[in-house]
């Protein structure tokens, strides 16, 4: 254990000195505007508009010889009818809906962590936002086939690279929190109940977005911290959950805040005051692994059924 912790500290030091990874080159395309209302008609129009944007971006990327972006867009083209946000520039943004958002009474938003971009949105199985949303949807259907729940894979902010100084600061998370607050407010204004499921650096985003946000649940897992000293300091009425698998290396990274680096208290520590949920032996990228206890518990949290969560 001592050697693992020393290795983790050395990794943190190495990250501080690393440079950011290259991002996808820009493609000339207009960003979509916020939806005036989350109705069936408005959503259909948004899906159609994003299908057109993906086609334009693919054509532009082919002309520019950007094979990386072409590959990243290939998977999205088949699911364009589920995208309510899309931007191919730089790392790229994508917000995908699994389920019927217009009829949903409850919504689960999956907030990913570092190293997530258009290139990895659906390329890493359940470790990708698209794969995680699909796995969660399948688990939810097993637990409650008739529930009106929509799941949103929300890559709504530019995430930091794991090997970059940005991954140790809250700069990117603050920008993500602003976008998440706006998006979540749109969902809740018509009475939908919302749960936030926040992985790794995404838990920093959720922690910064949490104050007075009208959500029922905030679940963090594989978390480096929430930029908060306790669940109470989040100023949220939501049930705050925290989980970490026994195979997750994040447990060996010091939970500190020093000279602007780090995100403070470990959310799974008793002093933080979160509701702990069992994640079994999950590794850092395994929380949505089919058949895992972590996925089952996240599904119950998404459903707003705390009594089903094993702790």
234-269: pLDDT as tens digits: 999 999 999 999 999 998 887 776 666 768 899 999
**Greatest Cα-to-Cα distance within the chain, rounded to the nearest angstrom:** 57
Bigger pLDDT: 10 vs 226:
226
The domain of 61 spans 24-89
Asked if the model's pLDDT at residue 24 lies above 70, the reply is no
Residue from 121, 101, 187, 142 nearest 291 by CA: 142
Mean pLDDT of 56-71: 90
Number of domains in the chain: 2
Q: Is the domain of 133 the same as that of 233?
A: yes
Q: Is the domain of 85 the same as that of 106?
A: no
User: Given phi > 0 = left and psi -120 to 50 = alpha, else beta, which region is 235?
Assistant: left
Q: Is the domain of 249 the same as that of 264?
A: yes
Q: Is the domain of 61 the same as that of 165?
A: no
Question: Angle 157-158-162 (CA atoms, 0-180°, nearest 5)?
Answer: 125
Of 70, 89, 108, which residue sits at a domain end? 89
Q: Is the domain of 43 the same as that of 70?
A: yes
175-205: pLDDT as tens digits: 999 999 999 998 998 889 999 999 999 999 9
Q: Is the domain of 120 the same as that of 49?
A: no
Among 44-48, 135-139, 164-168, 199-203, name the one with the lowest average pLDDT.
Answer: 164-168
Asked if the model's pLDDT at residue 16 lies above 50, the reply is no
Of 38, 64, 89, which residue sits at a domain end? 89
pLDDT for 93 = 93
Q: Is the domain of 67 the same as that of 123?
A: no
**CB proximity list for 156: less than 8 A, separation 6 or greater:** 85, 93, 95, 176, 179, 180, 183
Question: What is the spatial distance between Cα 59 and Cα 64, in angstroms, rounded to a whole number?
Answer: 9
pLDDT for 5 = 41
| Integer CA distances (angstroms), 71 to 118, 134, 214, in order | 10, 20, 38
Q: How many helices (H) and strands (E) does the chain have?
A: 7, 8
Determine contact, residues 257/265, Cβ cutoff 8 Å: no
Mean pLDDT of 201-219: 96
Q: What would the two tokens of residue 254 be?
A: 């010091």
Question: Angle 149-151-157 (CA atoms, 0-180°, nearest 5)?
Answer: 145
Residue from 71, 79, 150 nearest 117 by CA: 71
pLDDT band at 33 (very low <50, low <70, confident <90, very high): low
Q: Is the domain of 109 the same as that of 41?
A: no
Percentage of the residues of the chain whose pLDDT score is greater than 70: 84
Determine contact, residues 194/107, Cβ cutoff 8 Å: yes
Bigger pLDDT: 217 vs 160:
217
Q: What would the two tokens of residue 159 be?
A: 């995430």
Question: Residue 298 maps to which CATH number?
Answer: 3.40.50.1820
Q: Is the domain of 109 the same as that of 64?
A: no
Phi, psi of 95 (to 5 degrees): -130, 110
Asked if the model's pLDDT at residue 3 lies above 90, the reply is no
β-partners of residue 153 are 96, 110
In this structure, the number of other CB atoms found within 10 A of the CB of residue 307 comes to 5
Question: What is the spatial distance between Cα 79 and Cα 76, in angstroms, rounded to a whole number?
Answer: 5
Q: What would the two tokens of residue 244 be?
A: 């970490």
Q: Is the domain of 28 the same as that of 157?
A: no
Burial class (CB in 10 A: 0-12, 13-18, 19+), 201: buried
pLDDT for 1 = 44
Burial class (CB in 10 A: 0-12, 13-18, 19+), 142: exposed
Question: In sequence order, which ranges of the chain are alpha helices (DSSP H)?
Answer: 2-16, 40-64, 67-77, 129-143, 171-188, 202-209, 293-303
Q: Is the domain of 61 the same as that of 181?
A: no
Of 71, 89, 107, which residue sits at a domain end? 89
Q: Is the domain of 128 the same as that of 45?
A: no
Mean pLDDT of 51-58: 92
Rg, C-alpha atoms of the chain: 19
pLDDT for 17 = 35
Determine contact, residues 61/98, Cβ cutoff 8 Å: no
Determine contact, residues 154/183, Cβ cutoff 8 Å: yes
């Amino acid at each position: 254990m001592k050697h693992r912790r020393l290795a983790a500290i050395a990794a943190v030091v190495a990250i501080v000195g690393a440079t950011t990874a290259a991002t996808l080159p820009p493609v000339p395309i207009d960003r979509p505007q916020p939806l005036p209302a989350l109705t069936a008609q408005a959503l259909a129009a948004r899906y159609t508009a994003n299908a057109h944007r993906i086609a334009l971006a693919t054509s532009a990327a082919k002309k520019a010889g950007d094979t990386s972006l072409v590959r990243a867009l290939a998977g999205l083209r088949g699911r364009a009818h589920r995208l309510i946000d899309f931007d191919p520039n730089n790392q790229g943004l994508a917000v995908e809906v699994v389920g019927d958002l217009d009829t949903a009474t409850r919504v689960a938003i999956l907030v990913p962590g570092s190293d997530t971009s258009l290139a990895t949105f659906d390329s890493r199985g359940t470790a990708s936002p698209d794969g995680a949303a699909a796995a969660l949807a399948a688990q939810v259907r097993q637990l409650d086939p008739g529930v009106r729940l929509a799941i949103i894979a929300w890559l709504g902010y530019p995430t930091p690279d794991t090997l970059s100084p940005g991954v140790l600061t809250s700069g990117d998370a603050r920008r993500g929190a602003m976008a998440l607050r706006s998006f979540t407010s749109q969902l809740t204004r018509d009475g939908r109940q919302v749960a936030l499921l926040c992985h790794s650096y995404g838990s920093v985003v959720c922690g910064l977005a949490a104050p007075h946000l009208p959500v029922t649940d905030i679940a963090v897992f594989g978390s480096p911290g929430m930029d908060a000293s306790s669940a109470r300091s989040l100023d949220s009425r939501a049930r705050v959950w925290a989980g970490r698998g026994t195979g997750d290396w994040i447990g060996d990274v010091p939970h500190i805040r020093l000279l602007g680096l780090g995100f403070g208290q470990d959310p799974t520590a008793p002093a933080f005051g979160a509701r702990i949920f069992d994640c079994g032996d999950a590794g850092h990228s395994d929380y949505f692994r089919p058949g895992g206890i972590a996925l089952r518990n996240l599904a119950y949290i998404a459903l707003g059924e705390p009594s089903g969560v094993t702790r």
